[in-house]
Amino acid sequence: MTYQSQATEKKNASRVSTSILTVIGGFLLVVSTVIATLGISNSITSSRIPTEKTPTATITTGIVEQKINASLIAQPAAIIDVGAEGTVTQKGVAKGGIIKEGGIIGVVNERPIFLAQGAIPMYRTLTTGATGKDVEQLQSTLKRLGYAVSDAAGSYRSSTAWSVAAWYSDRGFTPVDSGGGTLARNAWGQAAVPQRELVFLASTPANAKTACGITGAQVQGPLCSLETEKREYVIKVATGLTTDAKKLEGLTVHLALDKVISAQVGSEKTTADADAQNVPTDALDSDDNANASSSTGDAASGSDADQYRYFSLILPEKKTLPRSSDGASATIIARSSGKKGFLVASVALHNNGSNDSYWIETTDETHVPVTVGMCYEGQCALTGDKIHSGMAVMLPKSAAPTTESQE
C-alpha cells in the first residue's frame, strides 16, 4: 500500500468517527431536552394541584351574650299649656327657651306669669287664710328661692304674704291683693298670687315648646306650652321578643348613645301608664324597631300596644341622659356567659356522648378536655387547663353544632 493510500484511508476513518460523534451528541441533546421539558411540565402540573388543608378554628376571648333589640323612649315628665287672657305687653320666653323655678314665663297686661314646682295645678288665687297642698307648694318654692317663710306648712299667713310681695317686687312687679288691687309696702301682709299669675309644673326647669308671647299679641286661652326638662324613660320591645315579661325585669340594658350607658330594665308598664307618660300607643313606622327580630312583622296590626311592650328604665344613681336620647337603640342582655373568658366555635367541640364531657383536638392531634359554658349563635364559652387565646384546634370531620344552650 502506498503512502497516499494509507493517508486516504485514515482521513476516511476520521470522517466516520466525526459523524458518529455528531449523531451521538445530537441524540444526547434531544434526550436532555425531552427530560428537561418533562420536568418543567411535571413541575407546572404539580403546582396546580391544591394542597389539602386541615380545617381549624381558633380560640379567642370575649363574652357570649344573648341579646334582645329594643329602643328608648324619652318623654317629658309633664307637659302643660299656660293659659292667659289679654294683651302680651312684654316678649315672653322664646321657643326652646329654658325657664327656671321662680322665672317669668310671659307678661300679659303688664302682669307676670311665674313658674313654680308642684304636682297640684294652680286652680285658685292663693291669699291669706288659704290652706292646702298648693299653699305648701308655693311656700316650698319661696324657700328654694331664698325667701323666709315662718308660717306653718300649707297655711297662707302674713309671713308667706310678705315673701310673695318681696318676690314680685324683686322682679319689677307691684304686689297685689286677692282682688288684684296694688299694695303699698306697708300692706304687703295682704299680698296674694292671682290664679293666672302662677303655673305649677311637676318639675323644674321647664322648656318652652312654643314661644310664650309676642309683644302686642292678643291672647284668649293658651299662651304657650311647657314641658319639663326632666325626662321619663321607657324601653320599647317588640312583643314577639318578650314571651315572659317578668324575666326581663332587672336585666341589664345597654343604651347606644355617645358612649354606651348601662342601666336596668324596670317593671312593665300598662297602656294606661304609657298614656300618662305620653308614650305613643298608635301604630308606629316599622323603622322604629328596625333591628328587631323578623317575628315582629307577625304581630297583630292596629294598636301599637299589641306590637310592643313597654318597660320602665332604671338609670344608675345621679345618671342623666341627653335630650337627644329619644329613639336611641337599646340592647337588653337576656343571658350572658359572665366575665370575659375563652370562646370557640361550637362546631370545634367534640363530645363522646355525655352532655358534660367535651374536648377539643389540637393540630398535633392531642385531645384536651374542656368545660363548656353558655353557647349562643355558634359561639361557646369554655374553660380548661391547657387552652389559651390564639390556640388552633381541629374541627371534627363531620362538624355539627353542639347543643345551643349549655348552662
**CB proximity list for 131: less than 8 A, separation 6 or greater:** 154, 155, 156
Strands, E, within 129-208: which ranges?
198-201, 206-208
> Check: CATH 3.40.50 for 66-76+231-336?
no
Cα 373 to chain centroid distance, Å, stands at 27
pLDDT tens for the chain, residues 1 to 407: 444 454 455 555 555 455 555 555 555 554 455 454 445 445 434 444 444 556 789 999 999 999 999 999 998 999 999 999 999 999 999 999 999 999 999 999 999 999 999 999 999 999 999 999 999 999 999 999 999 999 999 999 999 999 999 999 999 999 999 999 999 999 999 999 999 999 999 999 999 999 999 999 999 999 999 999 999 999 999 988 766 767 889 999 999 998 899 999 999 987 545 555 454 443 233 333 333 333 333 333 345 657 899 999 999 988 889 878 999 999 999 999 988 999 999 999 988 776 678 999 999 989 999 999 999 999 999 999 999 999 999 998 765 444 444 44
Please answer whether residues 77 and 232 qualify as being in contact, where contact means their C-beta atoms are separated by less than 8 angstroms: yes
Beta bridge partners of 350: 359
- DSSP for 213-279 reads --TT-EEEEEEEEEEESSEEEEEEEEGGG-S-GGGGTT-EEEEESSSEEEEEEEEEE-HHHHHHTT-
Q: How many residues does the chain have?
A: 407
| Ranges of each domain in the chain | 1-49, 66-76+231-336, 82-228, 338-394
Contact 237, 116 (CB under 8 A): no
Cβ–Cβ contacts within 10 Å for residue 236, how many?
Answer: 23
With beta carbons less than 8 A apart as the criterion, state whether 146 and 229 touch.
no
